[in-house]
Structures are given as structure tokens and as C-alpha cells.
Amino acid sequence: MLDQGAPPQNPGRTAASAPPGIGTRLIRRKPVERLVAEGGQGEGGALRRTLGLWQLTMISIGATLGTGIFVVLGEAVPKAGPAVTLSFVIAGLTALFSALSYAELAGTIPVAGSSYSYAYATMGELVAWICGWCLVLEYGVSVAAVAVGWGEYLNELLDGTIGVTIPAALSAPPGDGGVFNLPALIVVLLAMAFLLGGARESARANTVMVVVKIAALVLFCAIGVQGFRSGNYENFMPLGMAGVSAAGATLFFSYIGFDAASTAGEEAKDAQRDLPRAIMLSLVIVTALYVLVAAVAVGAKPWKNFTDSEAALAQIMREVTGQTFWGTLLAFCAVIAIASVVLTVLYGQTRILFAMSRDGLVPKVFAKVHPKTGAPRANTLIVSLFCGVLAAAIPLGQLADATSIGTLFAFALVNVAVVVLRRTKPDMPRTFRVPLSPVLPALGLAFCLWMMGSLSTVTWVVFGVWMAAGLVFYFVYGYRRSRLAPSEK
């Protein structure tokens, strides 16, 4: 009951014009219509719609295929033994549930921010920021992790062709016997050079590299199967289901990237039609190749003989044939294949920061678009240099696990977002719908949480520190500069 005799505290401001409280501001949502309307618009220019279904599918395959097989397989096999094939299936199933949710949201909200934008439209600004911060971990750090593995295969290639290798001091980070990983920095800078030319030019280069990497994996299977020994599959699960789960959590890193097509939403010719198709098609192709290659690799080499080498496939080719030629050829293909992962994942990172910058949550420089190329040049330069230095200084294993936990958290939020949007906007046109919703999104959420629980305590500590730093940045910078705030005054 109001006291009619009490004077108003502020005669010049009514209750209706009072600014929203902090709790209201943290859950403010960005309308889907506004997200779509702003698509492509940046500071001083706009992104160009030049990508079709083929290019979008190649972007997702390029960002995904190669990382787990060419780089992380050597680390995963000692954890699970021959059951590493099952670990790939579990990781792929986890990715599939989330991919279904991504496909629906990408067709409904075809923008560059990927799951960050989906969270902004459904769960509010704070959750969107947390998701975006996880995507920075997913994309930015995975660029560095993959670049580390590229250096391993470059050494294999150099050794097999000219008989020299880059000294350990310049080809490994501190903690792995080196001082500075120069090859990792070089491949990031090469990817940066392609991206500065624009999305269409980068997509063309990526398509060529994807074809090479698929051919390389098919070649490995054709040759590796000649050394297949059924006895290598005896005692299929020597470390139990815990080992399979731990390897699956690590191998989930190898599925990072199927969502890369969703970051191209503002550069696709027909985003609502092509994005869902590209996401699902790329995941099916990648999973089939992963399981096939892993099965051949374990059949050709006893699991106890696997080491932490990031060049495991080239070693197997050499051992099976007794010749250096095939291992050298595979190393050459891997150098190209992993470079395409760096290129496409770096692309995704720049587009996510582009969307966050347009919303005011990170500095404006990330949304500036070059008028001639239609590319966010300053954004690309900053991200590339950061990832390159990170790749040169941090060991692969720590990077891969940190990336996995950030990705799993973001995927978990996407599974929630698709259910929320179904309830808040049930009549919105959707070019793809998750079947059996909300059952499958719930399974996707459960799988993500389960795999997060399989990661080490150290990884959780790193993730906690990363999230704490992100929240500090948000409240110091993004909370006050959010472009949703003026509309609420």
C-alpha cells in the first residue's frame, strides 16, 4: 500500500522510467528479429554473402577432420587401449546430439555468433557472455593446440625428404623440451594471411586442403590394413569403462569444429537452408572416417606401443611398409590437413568475436570490417597473434583438455537453448527441427556433463580460473557497454 502523503523521492523520474536493476540487466535477451536484422553489419562495412552449401560443409570438415586423428590419437590410445574406437563413437554420439540442436538453431538464427547468439536470444546476456567466453576458449585455444601438432608432422616431413629436423629448442614449447615452438607460430600466421584476403578466398583454399586430408586418410586405411593383426584387439577394454570415458573426453577435442559452419551464418548465401545441412553432413563424414582410421591404427600397432607422439599415423605407415616414403607422404598430407583446421577454426574465432563486439561486450575493434575485402582485418590480426604466441608456449595436452571443457560447456548451453526457443517462440519458422525434442537435447546435455566430469581436476581448475577472468571482464567492460542497455532507459 502506497503512502499517499509521502513526497516522491525523485519527482523528475517515474517508476516506469527507472533503470532496470542488475538482476534484470543480466537476464535481458536480444530479440531474434534484431539478431537476424543486424546480420553482416560491422563497424565501417559489412560481411559479404559468398558461401554456398559446399563451402559451408568444407568449412565444418576443415575445422574438424584431422585434429583427433592426426594429432590426439597418440594420447588417447594409452588411456583406452583398443577400445579407443568406442571412445570415438561415444565422443561422436555426444557431438551428434549437440549437432542436432546446432542445426535447428543455425537455421532459425543464422548469425555469426554461433551458440553465443543462441544463448543471447534465449537465456539472457550473462549466460550469453559465459557461452561466448567458452567459445573463445574452444576456438582460440584449439587453434593453438592444433598448431602444436602441425609442427610434429612438419618435422616428420623434413626428416623424410631432406634428412633434417627443426631443433627441439625451436619446435617444442617450454615443458616439452623446447624453448619456443616456431612451426606452430608459422602455421597460424599463414592461416592469418589467407583470412585477411576474405571469406571466399579462404574457403577456396580450405576446400583444396580438405580434399587432400580425406585422400590421406583413405590412403592410410588402404596401407595400414595390410599390417592389421586381430590379436591387437585382445583384451579390448584393458583400462575399463573409466579409460574409455577419459579417452572420449580427450577425443571430443577432435570433434570441435563441426559447428564452424554456424559461425559463417552472415556470409552464407542461403543460411537458413544450408547451415543445418552443412553441420549434419560434415559430422557424419568426420565420424565415419575417425572410427575407420582408429580401428585400422590399433589393428596395425599394439596399443601399448603407442606413445604421446602427435605424428602417430606417419609412424604406423612407416612400420607397416618398412619404407619411409609412405610415412613421408602422409606427413605431407597431414601438414596440409592440419593447416586447414587452423585456418577454419581461426575463422570461426574471429566471427564470434565480431558478433560479441557488435553487441558491445568486447571492444569495437573486433567488429571493424575492411571495405575492400569484407573481412574483419584488425580482429584477424589480434586473434592470430594471440593464438600464435599461445601455440608457441603451451604444451599440446594441456591445450586439448582445456579446449574440450570449454566446448562441452558451450554445447550444453546450446541443447538448453533449443528447448527454450521452442517454448518461447513455438511458431517461428524452422528449416530443421530436432526430432524427439526435448528428449534428444536432454540427452545431449547429459552427455556433455558426463564427459566434462571425466576430465582431470587440473583441467577444471584451469576452466574455473578462465571463467572467473571472463566474469571480471564482463562486469568491468561488457555490462556497462552492452548495446541492449540504451533501449532499456
**What is the tens place of the pLDDT at every residue in 403-434?**
778 888 888 999 999 999 999 999 888 889 99
Cell of 160: 623424410
**How would residue 365 be classed by pLDDT, with cut points 50, 70 and 90?**
very high
DSSP single-letter state for residue 46:
E
Cell of 323: 619404407
pLDDT averaged over every residue in the chain: 83
Confidence at residue 396, expressed as pLDDT on a 0 to 100 scale: 60
What is the arithmetic mean of pLDDT over 26-48?
Answer: 82
Confidence at residue 274, expressed as pLDDT on a 0 to 100 scale: 92
3-class SS of residue 167: coil
Confidence at residue 271, expressed as pLDDT on a 0 to 100 scale: 87
- Indicate the angle between helix axes 53-64 and 324-358, nearest 10 degrees: 110
Confidence at residue 488, expressed as pLDDT on a 0 to 100 scale: 46
Q: What is the rounded distance in angstroms from the CA atom of residue 236 to the CA atom of residue 31?
A: 51
pTM check: above 0.85 = no
Farthest CA pair distance, the chain: 97
Q: What is the rounded distance in angstroms from the CA atom of residue 115 to the CA atom of residue 356?
A: 11
Q: What is the rounded distance in angstroms from the CA atom of residue 384 to the CA atom of residue 229?
A: 43
Whose CA is closest to 115, among 102, 104, 126, 125? 102
Given a contact cutoff of 8 angstroms between Cβ atoms, the answer to whether 418 and 437 are in contact is yes
Question: How many CB atoms neighbour CB 203 within 10 A?
Answer: 24
Confidence at residue 19, expressed as pLDDT on a 0 to 100 scale: 57
Within 247-314, strands assigned E span none
56 CB-contact burial (10 Å; exposed 0-12 / middle 13-18 / buried 19+): buried
Stretch (H or E) spanning 202: helix 199-224
Residue 217: CB partners within 8 Å, gap ≥ 6?
65, 69, 289, 292, 293
Given a contact cutoff of 8 angstroms between Cβ atoms, the answer to whether 317 and 159 are in contact is no
Phi, psi of 158 (to 5 degrees): -65, -40
Stretch (H or E) spanning 169: helix 168-171
Cell of 389: 604466441
Query: pLDDT of 123-182, one tens digit each?
Result: 999 999 999 998 888 787 777 777 877 777 788 788 878 888 888 788 777 767 778 888
Stretch (H or E) spanning 305: none
Q: Spell out the alpha helix ranges (H) of 68-161.
A: 73-80, 84-108, 115-122, 125-135, 142-161
pLDDT exceeds 70 at position 74: yes
Which range is least confidently modeled, 2-11, 16-25, 134-143, 355-364?
A: 2-11
Residue with cell 603407442: 306
Confidence at residue 357, expressed as pLDDT on a 0 to 100 scale: 93
How many residues would you count in the chain? 489
